[in-house]
Chain A
Amino acid sequence: MSTIEIRKLTKQFGAFTAVRDADLKVDAGEVVCLLGPSGCGKTTTLRMIAGLERATEGDIIIAGQRMNELTPQKRDIAMVFQFYALYPALSVGQNIGMPLHYEGLSKADADARVMKVAKILHLDEVLDRMPGQVSEGEKQRIAVARAIVRDPNCFLFDEPLSRLDVELRHSMRGQIKEVLQGLSKATVIVTHDQLEALTMANRIAIMKDGVIEQVGTPHDVFAKPANVFVASFIGTPQMNLVEADLRSFGDGMASVVLAGQEVALGVDPAVSRLKPSKVTVGIRPRAFTVSQDKARDTIEAQAELIEPMGAETLIHARTGLGSDIRVVVPREKRVKVGEAMHLRPDPRQTHVFGEDGRAVRA
């Protein structure tokens, strides 16, 4: 079975802890993205799975077998590196065929396998060239071809698309997804690009400072962020996170003081368990309706900066106490700078995070 599991995985470089108690399970045929800002430990985690980095603590289980002490050669995995890591002294064909060296195939069989994956990735024309003589997109496809030429336990991708320009990235995203769907292997992709993660992954693990903050489907991490960090990291434009004082809860509505205004917000019923305290209220920029009239459940703010984004318009609005609130409205909605706006948040998309930064949710 092609599965990957890490349990309580920890990596320390001297006094610095790069990864702390990471737990993750990837099933056969599942694509999991490790997503996080630079230096969050996602690549270190991947390198530990590959055996390129020794785990300080915890277990790495690939295909049901504990692999901590095994060298990369013995783990039977395939990895695509961020900078492709093509073998400069070997031709494209030899590069793709390199992993077959230890399979003991006859030359004809090996060549046939190379040809087969080269066809899938449209590389059959460039097999005789050297890596220095092919385009950036081709290099990327050679790296993928080299990974899928064998039948390994699992696939690891380290920032596979970060070196490509926007257009190529878009098309390669589709191609890689298609190739992976045909293979039904456990796959881990490391990326710092949330769009890449949201589009390619079955599940996303969001990391920060060496800790996996949340693991969930692309839908879950977007709609139900577990904490303030995930809420701020996923989604563009960024979710509005405003400090507020929770006063009371009744009738599905929380009474909060937010930017100096007393507002009744429709929130998750679990908020009723909170005592009056400081909370963070999270509302996505697209979750507002703009109304002309002040009401009990609206936040008042003045439009300060207007950025047309094509289909939609991004408005930076400022409350009386200076909090900046990002609001996305349809293109048809005309707002003038300085205009007073009454923003009504969608109750189903209003998140409350407690003092510890965790989402308060049933």
Chain B
Amino acid sequence: MPEYSGSLQRVAVAEGLWLIPLLPLLAALLLGWPRARDDSAKNGRERWLAAVAPAAALALLGYFTWVLSARPDAERILVDHVWTFVRIGSLDAALSFSLDSLSAFAACGAAFVGAVVAVFAVTSNVSRFALAAMNLCVSAFLVVVLAQNAVILTLGSGLGGVSVWLLLRGERDAKRGDVVVQSFLGDAVIVVATLLTFWVLGGTWTEAGEYVPEFRPRVAGVEIVTPEGHEPPKLDREAGHVTMISPQAATAYIGGAAICEVDAAGRPGGLGPEANPCKKVARSPFVRIPIGPSRHDLRVVTSRGNDATVAERTPVVAGQETEMAPVASTFGFREVHNQLLIRDVSGARVLRVALLNKTLWGINVVALICGLLVVAGLVKSSLVPFSGWLGRLKDTPSYAVALVVTLGSAVGAFITVRWGFLFDLAPTASGALALVGAMACLLTAAAGVFRADYRTALACFGASQLGVVLVGAGVGAFAGAAYQLVAQAVGVAAILLSIDAVGRASSREGADLDELAGSGAEHPSLAKLVFVVAAGVTAAPIPGLLGLWARDGVTATAFAIDRIGFVPGWMVWGFLGLGGFLGSFLVWRVYYVIFASAPAAKKPTKKKKRKARPLDQRLLWVLRVLAVVLVVGGIVGVQGRYWGSSHPALIDTWLASAFAGAGAPPSLLSSGVMLGQLFGQFSLSLAGWAAARSRYGRERSKSWRSDEERYGQVQRYSLELGVYGAPAGLASGVGTLAQVVARIDRSLLGRRFDDSRIEPPGQASIGSDEPAHEDSAESSSGKEESD
């Protein structure tokens, strides 16, 4: 019987994963550097880099996903170690990427959306700098989803924040600074959550408040058990097999001999100098190196030769795989997840128990970490109350809004899914996440309902769909959450780009719904395409497309669970339903105003007469591709339970390996009840469509325009007072405090107070206004006098 065992995921090493985020990053760097001369011909060629890079990343992803899919379910994870990032004692992080079923799915979705949006943007002749920002955004999101550990995920999250700011043309509008500051807030929360997770795994805060640091990482030999129902890998029955993934770039020894990756004779495995000289010494990550079955003293050397980590008398069993797994502080997602699965000889999951018993300031640390992740999810996903800046997207180009909402804001939601297995340990935090996600879905959708421009409205819709992802992570429907993440990316990008194409074809570049009203009559084929896209996104009035099944993965689980921590499942389901109703109403409102209403009656201006022009066929093809994905993408989410089949949805099967041992238990409700809840959700979406159709369709009331303005004002005031008031008040308080501090600062060492060097209180808020240029002449003269 092994001392430690567990159904850990078996890993393969795949070099080249790092190229996937690097390609768009390089394109961003090449396109972003300011040019002294404008060479239009060369610019035209180089601009296609913006589309080629994400497409190439998608192709690479396709290859690696194919490699991944060829492996058995329980072995679907590829790891690529690039270099060590930080290493001292047990604080060990590497620049490493991994591709499991979750990251493959999310990365493919992101690269696809990035490439499609880039093609759209290139054909629309946007600036090089904007193309660079787009590629940076794609690269950042790919780093986030491919990150092997939490440190690299933070790196991607930070880059994502900057790319969002650049996409919003932050360099032109000083008011967009709140996006940057909000991004820093999100990153700070992620950093704290990550570090708490790291230290709580290995370090100990004693009751006296003292911590005993560890000078080296800890590892233990864990025999990998093949889960029931899975076929074990074909291993040499005569030999034991040693695997080490983390700590990375470490060397393993048995006694005094290094483990060989390739021995002197060119054969794989074996031991070092005495028995079998190494041609190539194994440095982690390495997998399944055959050694003699016995009890071995395995020594792992990371930094200093005299700081070896030793796992004494580790049993290496013939025909089995033993992984040298970290059993203490680690940043790796897989490694943390594995620690929760490791069992001792009695069958107890000892590390999981130990983790659950840790407290900080009397609070369960896992609950604290999950609470922080909830906040990070809200902040980075721009959900209420952190969605204030979405209201200023009117002047931002649609392609930029599409990327900001589908990739930039999706970072927060993805983080909650990635850490989903931790939420599994903290029911209270899970309940909070589900409730907060559902309410955020509802409120963020409500914030976009009566918006006067389609970009803000659809951005709010996109953000509200990320709330569904948060709910998925909270209720344990991780596969549904991941599905929803990709579905909303494709759907929101499709609808935003479609309407933008309508505007271009009608020579209406603005985002005002009023201005775009009636454009559909000029482009009937495009109107049909947008109808399909809207139906795909909202699941109404055509059921069975991507939108319905993506949401169903989450809503069905919420419905089937009695309680999620302290939150009743039906409550979450209800909020999601209302959110679905509002979301559907929002999207269809945009559709009907643009395609079914008459043009606004305005006096003709003296400006150039508007002239409808044929739609660029390349743009049309981009939109067709998105529409097709929205239609056929639903297939992978169709649940067999609705007609009594035991086969789960394709997406559930694919993503199951990423969440082994975590997630909600299978539903005990009958298929009839589940079908009822599905019908309920669909009915609510349908009701949203019906409401929008009756209000904005061909038979709308005559006073609808004035009603819109009135509702819009009520909505704006209620949001500013009720939702965004707290952050604004906080910012104002910080500004006043800063004034006080600056004055004390001046007087600390006896310096005469100089008012001209401190801003008056009204200007202390962040990014609030332009520089006070009016005073410049006066200030200059004042300076000259003082000099």
Q: Do A and B bind each other?
A: no
Residues on B close to A: CB < 8 A?
Answer: none
Residues on A close to B: CB < 8 A?
Answer: none
